[in-house]
Amino acid sequence: MSLAPDITELLARARADLRMGVPVALTDDSGYSVLAVSAETLSPQRLADLKALGTPVVAITGRRAETLKARAYDGDLARVVVPADADITWVQAVADPSDDLNAPMKGPLMTERQGNANLHRIAIALAKSARILPVAVVVSIEDGRSFAATHGLTCIDHTRAAPHLADRSALHEVVAARLPMEVSEAGRLHVFRPEDGGEEHYAVEIGRPDRDKPVLARLHSACFTGDLMGSLKCDCGQQLRGALAQMGSEGAGVLLYLNQEGRGIGLANKMRAYFLQDQGFDTVEANHRLGFEDDERDLRLGSDILKSLGFNSVRLLTNNPAKIAMMERTGIAVTERVPLKVGETAHNRGYLATKAAKSGHLL
Neighbouring C-beta atoms of residue 358, cutoff 10 Å: 13
Cα 91 to chain center, whole Å? 22
DSSP conformation letters of 165-207: HHSPPPEEEEEEEE---SS-SSEEEEEEEETTS---EEEEEES
Whether the link from the prior residue into 108 is cis, omega within 30° of 0, is: yes
DSSP H or E segment with residue 334 = strand 333-338
Q: Which of 295, 304, 315, 349 is catalytic?
A: 295
What's the rounded Cα separation, in Å, for the pair 1 and 3? 6
Q: Order the strands of the 155-157 sheet from edge to edge.
A: 77-81, 57-61, 136-141, 33-38, 24-27, 155-157
241 is catalytic: no
SS3 call for 146: helix
13 is catalytic: no
Q: Which of 297, 300, 304, 329 is catalytic?
A: 297
Residues labelled catalytic: 295, 297
